[in-house]
A and B are shown apart, each in its own frame.
Chain A
């Protein structure tokens, strides 16, 4: 049986494709996480972001994945979700 199509069991009051969360209008008062995925020079990019956020008086928390070749460990994802309002990650080297 083809399981690529299913019928919506809901009252269809929400869009079929889930919308992304809206971007925050301001970072003021927010805690911003910076995630280094452990690719070379990611830290250079994130250090500069931290510098700029700190200059704006924004609280910053730093995180790093053990390796860019694996998805983040569950414990790290849970910790970030619990501790910050926004997350910035540097993807490429």
Chain B
């Protein structure tokens, strides 16, 4: 429904606005001398009540449809079309607009008005939901009979085990303001149930997770990356192994939303890191139906299945992960990796790159199992103090990776099944070969962490890495 604009003058006012009170005595004069006058009052049935054209706009629908930002607002309508408006009290404007040339002789020249009630926090979103163009498609669940909405969310199975924020329509609308994408746009088919996941469902789960609206572009990019065939989310959800999506964020978007790439980057305490990763997990759970014990068959899982998301601490002397993977400098991107937990590398003695690289290589052998090779990929998270050892010696990330690839070649005879008295191992046919630990491109290197500590970390990938299972996927963050 559109409010039909009545010809003549329209005044929108608030009784508790002093400027509206100042102009109130003039309204009878306007009504008598300037043609039909309609007065919409936002907060009271008492203001200008004696005038025939006064209407208490209790639902604020008229004010909303007129797009009122300030009170008083004076509008002239001709032939059902607005031709002019002014707001606050400006004597000259009111006189010119109304045609009453001696209006308000005794009043000051100018008084600013007040903000419209339609723009008050909470009210603006309710009005947009009631009268705006937005149409949310998700069904509403009635919580009026429950005494605690937080408990009701648990009971409905929407939680990962921690409290979630009840996704009221107002909160979801605010979340949707974080993206320019339409609520009904389908981001992709969400495994394991393969149901279309709309931007609106993403927003609802982002509310549950505790996201701010400004995180939406990062979350949407992460979801898009997760839904590629290359990433293979379906298998990753269902596996008995440990892995789950890890989100690594690069570029200005990470700084803009306040993500942590520094002290405790892989840990708790930063809202963006915690809730972006959590929102993706809740989408898997709620939209995709990927719940542990049902289709998620993880033997042990890992704590990152609550949330695993951090930003790279980009350094001008080391190429950021996103740029290594084809993203233009200055752009933001997410890289999804099928990550397990965090394994620390403690090396407080190496001060030259050769020693530290050998140290990293030895530790990286433990990915999956020291006797397995070309199974799981890995992310090597190099702390700033360790990175400094390489950078000072002129080693780029690429140089470090090449050295590690070389150092991680191992004689097949030491890795084959049965070698070392351990039945686990690679097939016998490799016994006379030098075997690389990782498949080509299977080792990712990022810089993150606090500036104190000669510690780095390994995040092992899914043992079914590569085309057989899951590969890391990078997607640019848009709006």
Which A residues are within 8 Å of any B CB, using their own CB? 1-13, 16, 18
Contact flag A6-B141 (CB < 8 Å), given A1-B168, A13-B193, A13-B195: yes
- How close is B199's CB to chain A, nearest CB, in angstroms? 13
Give 4 new A-B contacts, CB below 8 A, not counting A2-B170, A6-B143, A9-B201: A3-B168, A5-B169, A7-B141, A11-B288
**Which residues from chain B contact A5 at a C-beta distance below 8 Å?**
140-144, 168-169
Chain A residues with Cβ below 8 Å from B153 are 6
Secondary structure of the B contact surface, majority rule: mixed
What distance in Å separates the Cβ of B198 from its nearest Cβ neighbour in chain A?
10
Is the beta-carbon distance between A6 and B287 smaller than 8 angstroms?
Answer: no
Contact A11:B168 (CB < 8 A) given known A6-B140, A6-B149: no
Q: Which of A7, A9, A13, A16 contacts B169 (CB 8 A)?
A: A7
Q: Are B168's CB and A7's CB within 8 A?
A: yes
| B172 beta carbon closer than 8 Å to chain A | yes
| A4 surroundings in chain B (CB, below 8 A) | 142-144
* Also in contact, A1 and B141, with CB within 8 A (given A9-B201, A9-B204, A11-B287): no
User: Does B479 count as interface, using CB distance less than 8 angstroms?
Assistant: no
Q: Which of B140-195 contact A (CB under 8 A)?
A: 140-144, 149, 153, 156, 158, 166-172, 190, 193, 195
The interface residues of chain A lying within 8 Å CB-to-CB of B144 are 4-5
- Docked Cα-Cα span, A28 to B245, in Å, equals 46
B143 pairs with A7, CB closer than 8 A: no
A11, B289: Cβ atoms under 8 Å? yes
Does the CB pair A10–B287 fall under 8 Å?
A: yes
Residues on the B chain within 8 Å of A7, using CB = 136, 138-141, 167-169, 172, 200, 204
Complex Cα distance, B167 from A2, in Å, reads 11
Enumerate chain A residues within 8 angstroms of B158, measured Cβ to Cβ: 9-10
A12 to B172, CA, bound (A): 17
Among candidates B143, B170, B287, residue contacting A9 with C-beta atoms closer than 8 Å: B287
Q: Is B122 an interface residue (CB 8 A)?
A: yes
B378 at the interface (CB under 8 A from A): no
Nearest CB in chain B to that of A12: its residue: B139
**Is there an interface contact between A11 and B282, defined as CB atoms closer than 8 Å?**
no
In angstroms, Cα B189 to Cα A11, docked, is 11
Docked complex Cα distance between A9 and B138 (Å): 8
Interchain CA distance A18-B152 in the complex, whole Å: 12
> Chain B nearest CB: distance from A11 CB in Å?
4
Q: List 23 A-B contacts (CB under 8 A).
A: A1-B122, A2-B170, A4-B142, A5-B141, A5-B142, A6-B143, A6-B149, A6-B153, A6-B167, A7-B138, A7-B140, A7-B141, A7-B167, A7-B172, A8-B139, A8-B204, A9-B167, A9-B201, A9-B282, A9-B286, A11-B193, A11-B287, A12-B138
A10–B190 alpha-carbon span in the complex (Å): 11
User: How many angstroms from the CA of A11 to the CA of B138 in the assembled complex?
Assistant: 9
Closest 3 CB pairs of A and B: A11-B195, A4-B144, A7-B138
Chain A minimum-CB-distance residue to B202: A9
Determine if B168 and A16 form an interchain contact, defined as CB atoms under 8 angstroms apart: no
- Does B139 lie within 8 Å of A6, measured CB to CB? no
**Least distance between A45 CB and chain B CB atoms (Å):** 30
Q: Which of B256-305 contact A (CB under 8 A)?
A: 282, 286-289
Q: Give chain A residues whose Cβ lies under 8 Å from the Cβ of B170.
A: 1-2
Q: Which residue of A lies closest to B143 (CB)?
A: A4
Flag whether B205 is at the interface (Cβ < 8 A): yes
